[in-house]
Structure 1
Amino acid sequence: MNIQSPFSSGIQGFQRAADSVTEASLNISRANINSLTNESSTRSAVNPDQFVDASKKTVTDSLIQLKAAELHAGANVKSINTADEMLGTLIDIRV
């Protein structure tokens, strides 16, 4: 069984949260671009609201993903800080 150090676990989790933020941001920008493209090219479509609803759902999901990534990153930062404090206590050095 391999047990990771708190530092590497925290950094790994923070990197995952950063990747999630990047993915959500790209999804929001793509939805915005698709919405603008579909709006201009389908003005005579039977139901133009279907494109707006799809982009709203994508944007909503991506905003939720952004908030979850923020909380995830914050939790990992706290674990890194705690590991730092514990290490400082163990070797009697407080930074």
Structure 2
Amino acid sequence: MDVRSAYNSGLTGLQNASAQLTSSSVNIAQTTGADGRTIENQESVALSAEQSPVSLTTELVNLKVAEFQAKSSAKVITTADEMVGTLINTSV
């Protein structure tokens, strides 16, 4: 496996996770109630699908997916780094 390819895959995964995190966070922050006001405390108001163009549940799931994607990508980068370290320490 090409180490550069592993690094690139890891970095691309981190960038995608960051974009997903940002998108979901913005969607959650912009969720509004029936009266049109922005809801700051999501626990205090129950939203139905008709009241919100964005499903709060879906966005929370997307946040978790982004978290797992970021953790997996970080592990790919760590593994690639360990491979480079092992290759450098290998005597010829």
Normalised TM-score (structure 1)? 0.72
Q: Which runs of 5+ in 1 are unaligned?
A: 42-50
Where does residue 66 of structure 1 map in the other structure?
A: 63
Aligned length: 77
**Cα-to-partner distance string for 1:15-54 (whole Å, 9 max, x where unaligned):** 00000000000110111xx21xx3268xxxxxxxxx9302
Root mean square deviation of aligned Cα: 2.4
4+ residue runs of structure 1 moved beyond 3 angstroms?
A: none
Amino acid in the other structure paired with 1:85:
E
Share of identical aligned residues, percent? 39
Larger Rg: 1
**Which residues of 2 match residues 1-95 of structure 1 at below 5 A?**
5-31=5-31, 34-35=32-33, 38-39=34-35, 52-54=47-49, 55=52, 58-92=55-89
SS at structure 2 position matched to 1:52: coil
Shift of 1:57: 6.3
Amino acid in the other structure paired with 1:15:
Q
Normalised TM-score (structure 2)? 0.74
Q: Tell me which protein shows more helix as a share of its residues.
A: 1
Q: Which runs of 5+ in 2 are unaligned?
A: 38-45
